[in-house]
């Protein structure tokens, strides 16, 4: 399955369209809206989150709670839109609407204006805004529904916000219920306190903060992805998908960058037969991927998010209208959106995994995919 989205941050609505969706997948509307709510939560979010109560309306592709095999279109209304009617009017003249001409360092503002020839960074920032990721989360919830039927679950947690970190955690050491209760998605309550304090300090300093989150998937069969073609490699597909989330500057799988400074014997995971006679690994430094394919261990992916570029104590810029030195534009924004980005990355990971499962098991309907999965498991035998 593949998706595209449409919508500006302060336009009427966001839309996600998913194509190549297998028929017969049970989809729970509550699960979609739960994921949308999880994306909205998080200590350090801005005023917009008090306005929005994101909920997906199904426009097509789902009937009686099951996918039809036709494109699934999902609509999320922007409750803030009426406050921006003049600024975003598709048919207005724009007269009297203030332009954004002081591009923010680190934002899409300047390269976007250069690319498009626009003299108003609002033309760019409306779409570059992470508001768009709500549509991705709705699409990702459909991918998660397919994966659940294939025995795969995707979850996330936050390991670092600014200076406060737990260090890397293994999936089995992370209690999912604790993460879901935490407003910073951190499983360690003491580190979570330090994260909140760091966000408070950043807010009062007019600063913003980034961090590191982990996404993991359990229940994967070996061999998902591919080694024969560059475009089939699962690690490459996952990295591209997660890097497409605004503000993500780095992605690693398993021990990632740390592997570069260890000898091979301290990097690779020995192959063992477990008590049930299943081929496993004694460790999971590879993060569940070898040679561009799953190896049957949990997928472990980490991503680094930079601090949001909108600063209430702004950096210097050049005003595009006057050529004069200026303070960068201030827009209402978040101090920290790392917990939200983790939920968005879950969606991206789910969409890639669902598509890679379809590559192996077929694309027509869920029942055929499940039969193919049973046969595949039986053939692997161990
Ligand atoms: C966001 C909505 C936005 C911001 C944030 C993410 O709302 P507004 O711009 O109306 O305050 O809170 O946007 C950004 C971080 C960004 O880079 O633009 C959301 O729904 O996630």
Q: Which atom of ligand 1 is nearest to the CA of 10?
A: 10
Nearest-CA residue for atom 20 of ligand 1: 131
pLDDT of residue 273: 94
Residue at 45 is within a domain:
no
Residue closest to 131 by CA, chosen among 79, 193, 61, 70? 79
Give residue 334 CA to ligand 1 midpoint distance, Å.
7
The model carries a pTM of 0.97
Residue at 64 is within a domain:
no
Torsion, Cα of 308, 311, 315, 321 (10° steps): 100
Q: Is the CB of 101 under 6 A from ligand 1?
A: no
Residue at 339 is within a domain:
yes
pLDDT of residue 382: 67
Residue at 14 is within a domain:
no
Residue at 191 is within a domain:
yes
Let me know: does 291 contact 222? Beta carbons within 8 Å: no
Q: Is the CB of 168 under 6 A from ligand 1?
A: no
Q: Is the CB of 262 under 6 A from ligand 1?
A: no
Let me know: does 245 contact 308? Beta carbons within 8 Å: no
Residue at 22 is within a domain:
no
Report the CATH number at residue 163: 3.60.150.10
Q: How many domains does the chain have?
A: 1
Q: Which residues contact 205 (CB under 8 A, 6 or more apart)?
A: 313
Residue at 138 is within a domain:
yes
Which residue segment(s) compose the domain that 172 sits in? 95-380
Q: Is the CB of 48 under 6 A from ligand 1?
A: yes
Instruction: Return d(Cα 266, Cα 285) in angstroms, integer.
Output: 9
pLDDT in tens, the chain (382 residues): 999 999 999 999 999 999 999 999 999 999 999 999 999 999 999 999 999 999 999 999 999 999 999 999 999 999 999 999 999 999 999 999 999 999 999 999 999 999 999 999 999 999 999 999 999 999 999 999 999 999 999 999 999 999 999 999 999 999 999 999 999 999 999 999 999 999 999 999 999 999 999 999 999 999 999 999 999 999 999 999 999 999 999 999 999 999 999 999 999 999 999 998 889 999 999 999 999 999 999 999 999 999 999 999 999 999 999 999 999 999 888 999 999 999 999 999 999 999 999 999 999 999 999 999 999 999 997 6
Torsion, Cα of 370, 280, 159, 155 (10° steps): 10
Residue at 65 is within a domain:
no
pLDDT of residue 277: 87
Q: Is the CB of 343 under 6 A from ligand 1?
A: no
Q: Is the CB of 106 under 6 A from ligand 1?
A: no
Q: Which residues contact 98 (CB under 8 A, 6 or more apart)?
A: none
């Amino acid at each position: 399955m593949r998706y595209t989205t449409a919508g500006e941050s302060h336009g009427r609505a966001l839309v996600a369209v998913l194509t190549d969706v297998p028929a017969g997948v049970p989809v729970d509307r509550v699960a979609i809206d739960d994921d949308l709510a999880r994306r909205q939560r998080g200590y350090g979010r801005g005023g917009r989150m008090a306005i929005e109560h994101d909920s997906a309306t199904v426009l097509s592709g789902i009937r009686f709670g099951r996918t039809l095999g036709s494109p699934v279109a999902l609509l999320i209304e922007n409750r803030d839109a009426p406050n921006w009617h003049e600024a975003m009017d598709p048919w207005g003249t724009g007269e009297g609407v203030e332009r954004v001409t002081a591009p923010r360092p680190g934002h899409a503002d300047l390269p976007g204006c250069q690319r498009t020839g626009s003299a108003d960074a609002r033309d760019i920032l409306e779409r570059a805004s992470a508001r768009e990721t709500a549509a991705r989360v709705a699409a990702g919830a459909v991918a998660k529904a397919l994966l659940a039927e294939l025995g795969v679950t995707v979850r996330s947690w936050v390991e670092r916000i600014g200076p406060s970190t737990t260090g890397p955690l293994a999936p089995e050491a992370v209690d999912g219920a604790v993460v879901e209760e935490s407003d910073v998605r951190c499983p360690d309550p003491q580190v979570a306190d330090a994260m909140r304090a760091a966000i408070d300090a950043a807010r009062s300093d007019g600063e913003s903060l980034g961090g590191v989150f982990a996404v993991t998937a359990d229940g994967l069969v070996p061999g998902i992805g591919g080694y024969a073609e560059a475009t089939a490699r699962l690690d490459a597909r996952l990295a591209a998908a997660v890097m497409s989330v605004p503000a993500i500057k780095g992605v690693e799988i398993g021990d990632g960058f740390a592997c570069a400074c260890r000898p091979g014997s301290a990097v690779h995971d020995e192959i063992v037969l477990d008590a049930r006679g299943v081929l496993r690994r004694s460790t999971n430094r590879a993060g569940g991927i070898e040679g561009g394919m799953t190896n049957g261990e949990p997928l472990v992916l980490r991503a680094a998010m930079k601090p949001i570029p909108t600063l209430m104590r702004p950096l210097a810029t050049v005003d595009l209208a006057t050529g004069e030195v200026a303070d960068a534009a201030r827009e209402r924004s978040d101090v920290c959106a790392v917990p939200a980005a983790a939920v968005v990355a879950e969606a991206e990971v789910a969409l890639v995994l669902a598509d890679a499962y379809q590559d192996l098991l077929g694309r027509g309907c869920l029942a055929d995919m499940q039969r193919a999965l049973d046969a595949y498991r039986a053939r692997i035998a161990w």
